[in-house]
Each structure stands twice: as C-alpha cells, then as structure tokens.
Chain A
C-alpha cells in the first residue's frame, strides 16, 4: 500500500476577489485551500470530509489541475503537474479523471449517452475502430443497458445518470479518479448501488480514489484512510478505523459525535459535542488555528500560532497544539467534562458492541 501515487506539498488555491467594473482591482482573496501536505497511495480510497465550503472540491480540482494551484506541488508518478504547460499536461489527463456531484448538471443534455461516454476516447485517441463496442462495454460494466446508447441524459434516473458519469470517467482507463460527492444528490436507496459499484470497479481496475463527501458515514464506508478539512486546512488524517476509534483533533471529535446513528438505543445514550457558532468566512479566516473561534479547548497559543500538521501516532496526522500540550485539554475552561464524556463514549461503545453486530451470525 505504502507507495505514493500522488504527493501533495504545500498545496494552495486562492481565488482573487475583484471590485470595480472598469478598473478591476483585487481587494481580497478566498483562501479556499491553504497549504495541504499529504500523499495518496496507489490503490487506496482516501476519503475527504468537511463542511460545505471548507475546500474539498477545490482540493480535488487542483490536484488534477482543473484549477492551476496558486502555490505548492502535486507530484504524480514523480512528475510535478503544477509545472507542466497545458500541452504537456494533456497525456496526464487520461490518467486523472473526475466524477461530479450533480449528475444533472454535469452531462451535456444535447449529447447522447454514447457521445458522452466516447468523448474521452476520442480526445485521447483510444479504442480507434471499436468505439461503439468499447462504449457498450463501459455501459455494461457500470450497470447500464447498452441498448440505451442513443438516449439522452434526461431519459435516465439520477442513479443512472451518475453511472453515465462513472462510465465516462472510466473510458480513458485512468489511474486516479476524484469522486466529488458522487452520491450526495442520490436517493438513499440508490446511494448503496453506486457505492458498491465504485468499490467493485476499484477492485477490478486497480483504481485510486479521492472520495469527497460531507457525509462522514458514507466516507467511512468506502475509504481506507480519511482526511478531515476545516476552512482550507487539513486538520486530521488517519486510517478509517483509527480515525473513528481515536479522533484526536477537537473538530473531528465534534464531527464524529454529531453524525446520527440509525439505532434509537445508541442515539439515546450518545453525548453530542455541540459546537457553538458557524464556520467563519474563508475571506477572513481566524488567526493562528483556524478552528479557535469554535474550539472548546482553545487557549492563548491557538490565537497566535498556526498548529503544524504533524504525526501524532503512526500514520495519524493532526494539526492541533494539544498534540504537544495534552494537559491543556483538561485545563480548558469550556471543555466538556472529561469524565462524563468518557463515560458517555464507553456507554455508546458498549451499546454498539452488545447490539451492534450480530455475533452469532458471524460464525
């Protein structure tokens, strides 16, 4: 696993904000992505979660160079993509694909399914001669009836349209796919169909995914590792099991405690860490740790000093001063009572253990 397909260093994507109609003057910048450092391993699914506007889509788009990053490097197979010109980048586009959130908006309504799926084949000169056959094969692979090749997107359901988007992304036989909220627009009963399809395709074609979603449960379902973002920064990165068992950043802890679990007994015993207030604007992010305006543990240092994204345990990265100063967690005046919280977490874990998995059926 440990071989990196993508190495991302100090990735920044800032969008200028202009004022004035005639003389456009940059008055500010949206720091949508503000200095990310992480690797994406060959064959893994890296889940990326965070609240809306925290920079998930921008991260995905700047990795595959749909946006040209403001700063930083993105190494793919050892080559820094950010330094390549448009034409130098062209051959790499084949390897780096994207699936979009909105299956309605991302498909050209005037193109047939066949045209949509074959577009990357034509752009990259693939399957010459056998385009129709290849498209039908891709439709088959993604669970679409190949007889519908001449139909238009509006003739399909949301789940089927998402399959069309997946078939298009697969057409050029990519190595890496950014999946940007691919299930958020789908009905609950259809989401599982698409998740399972994506898992099967990954196994069959050895794909690497960056799976973006705001739904932590969906991310845990599909990901090997999970990265949490807040206001343009990555605050925590760990193996999925580890992240769930030992969330370390105060924001991750709140996020995990906020996700409802479909079991009334578990819900009744759960203690929520309810965060105060809203996410601040990325136009004017807080100084120091960007989370300090909502963090129950924030102290003086947090307002002044940006916490480093450092390894708190093997493969477990956290950006929080509490990693160096764990005793601060107890001293914090606004901190939830630790004993109560531990008791609540223990009660929840017990409830999950005793009822969570039907052990008698496992044998």
Chain B
C-alpha cells in the first residue's frame, strides 16, 4: 500500500445531493461524511439506489442540474471545497488529479475516435507533453495494462477491442495523468470472473506503483474484501457503518451490514449454509423516512428507532456506526466467520424482544 499521510486527500462533510422529480424530492445522498487518505483504498458497498454513484458524481461535479442540486455540505479535496469551484476549474481536475473508471468503458471512450487520440490529447493539454512524448507515454501505459501488441493496436477504434481490453484502455486513460484520486464505479461488474481477476490484479499493482487514493464502488463484498483498506456501508442515501476492512468483516456492528454479509452465497461455504435474506426492500427516499431507514427490515428494531436517525457512534479506532443497538450487534459476533445458524438464532431472539449481553454476546433471558 502507498504511504498514508494524516491529512485526508478527500473529505466529504454532510454532503447532500437531491433530485427534483414528479414524485417529490429524491434525497439520493442525504448527509454523507467520509474521508479518503492519500494512498488509501476505500470501498463503498450498499444496494442499488443507496446513493453510492450519486456521491461520486457529486465529487466530480457532474450531477445533471436540473433535476439535481446540492442541498448542503462540503467536498474538501486537498483542503479546497469542490462545491465552490467553477465549471472550468472542475473540468481541469477531472481526468487530471481525479480520474474515474466506470462500469461501462464506453462512458469514457468516444466510439468515433481512435484510442491513440483519446489517450494522447489529455496528456498534451494537462501535462503539456509534445505529441511524440505523449504517444510514447501512452503506448507504454497500454503495455503496462496488458494490451497485447499495444503499438499495433494503438490506432484502432474502441469497438475493435474486447470488453476486457476496453476496460484496460479505460484504466490506462485514467492513470495516464497520475491522478491523486481514482474513482472506480463497479469497474468489473460487467466482466467475466476470469477477466475480473485480471483487471483487479492490475488495478492493485498500478495503485501500489502510483500511490493514488481510490474509491471503489461495488456490490460484491468479495471484491472489497480483497481490494479495500477501509469500507463504507451506505443505506438509503446515508453512511450507516464504516470501518477498516478486516474489522468490518470480523465485527460488523450495523444490522444491515450483517444482512449483506449473510445474504450472499460464498464459494467457500456451499449448500450446507442456508442464506439469510434481508426481507423487504429499501425505502423510497422521496418519502419522509422517520428515524433509521432500515427499521422496517431490521430484526433488531425497537420503537426508539423510528423517532430519530441514530447519531454516529465510535466502536473502536476507525470504526463508526449509526445504530441504536450497535454495541449489542458488535458483541453478538455476527461477522464473516459466524455460521448462518448462529446469526439466525440471534436474529430470532432479538426479534422476539430479547437483548444481547454486551459482555458475553449471548442472548439475555
């Protein structure tokens, strides 16, 4: 991992991004705070619609407006608030100090332009390289990301590359300007698993080389387990838990995080372990959500939960949770190592009104 300095590279403070729609105001991102340190890899997980992408698009200043608008908060990048920057200042940052990798490479690549031109131009404008210098640097980067016969393929169009190779070209493009922050939104979701393994390996290597900080959005807990130093869990437009990767998997303290962990099939488990689904579905953020948005689906919910959104609790260094019963969830040891049986027993118990002894982690009474 690259060196980590104390001052954060990126700091989101109570960020709110809303959309005006016919059904009312969608609070897509509703008070999100987290930091990314230099050289650090932060994973963001949560189900579809939880606001993972809108947060990133807000950082990039690319929220379509209308219908989208900023409803408060700050986005501090190297100490400066990006929300206060002009369009042209933001354009300069994008693809330079901040770059992105999307799920669909064609959102970054222009189908009508040769790959060579798309790689060379930003180097000329952002770094002031001559055409020859830019060309040499770009070809070297294509070789580095594993494009076979890079020199010969340099002047081809994107559609002449396979899906996995296009993803590589996009990664090359994102890294060419040596960004400080790399934002990757589901970079491997559209790829087959053996190609995903190639791309993840590559991203890991290149990040270690360049020391870039990274935000990695994915719905695949396995991918963050292998790639992220720290993990942010989002639910209904809010951060509900954040912790170092090991800690989050070993001692999840929000019932939703436990739910995510226990509802995904695992290759190392197989049939004997039944999945525990999260019942119901996420709330509509255009409606008023009283208190904790997870309450209607949460086995741990009590009357208190629907009154006010739970404040941020510190569980240990670098581990924060928004849940009234976080201490109990933590104590019950419901992490990646827990068996489905154990989790079912605990969830059944608390559903029936029992509490957890924070010292032993057992059900009371």
A contact residues vs B (CB 8 Å cutoff) = 51-52, 157, 159, 187-193, 195-196, 199, 214-218, 220-224, 240-241, 244, 254-268, 270, 272, 274-275, 277-279, 352, 355-358, 361-362
Contacts and interface: CB of A to CB of B under 8 A. Distances in A.
Interface in B200-228: 200-201, 219-226
B2 interface: no
A274 B47 contact: no
Interface residues of B, number: 53
B278 A189 contact: yes
A221 B224 CA distance: 21
B198 interface: yes
B165 interface: yes
A259 B281 contact: no
Nearest to A351: B268
A192 B225 contact: no
Contact of A240 (B47, B200, B271): B271
> By CB atoms of chain B within 10 A, which of A222, A258, A266, A270 has the most?
A258
B198 A260 contact: no
A187 B48 contact: yes
B245 interface: yes
B192 A260 contact: no
A51 B164 CA distance: 12
A278 B165 contact: yes
A264 B278 contact: no
Interface string B262-301: 0111111111001111110100000000000000000000
Q: Please report whether the interface of chain A is mostly helix, strand, loop or mixed according to DSSP.
A: helix
Given A187-B48, A261-B222, A244 B162 contact: no
B266 A261 contact: yes
Contacts of B48: 187
A255 B194 contact: yes
Given A196-B277, A263-B336, A358-B338, A221 B220 contact: no
B264 A217 contact: yes
A262 B274 contact: no
Interface of B: 47-48, 148, 162, 164-165, 192-198, 200-201, 219-226, 245-246, 249, 259-261, 263-271, 274-279, 281, 333, 336-339, 341-342, 345
Contacts of B162: 278
A216 B198 CA distance: 17
A189 B196 contact: no
B338 A188 contact: no
A254 to B, nearest CB: 6
Contact of B271 (A196, A220, A279): A220
Q: Which 9 pairs from chain A and chain B are nearest by CB?
A: A260-B222, A221-B265, A192-B277, A267-B226, A258-B197, A262-B221, A192-B263, A51-B192, A192-B275
A258 B246 CA distance: 20
5 contacts: A221-B275, A240-B270, A259-B193, A272-B201, A362-B341
Nearest to A50: B192
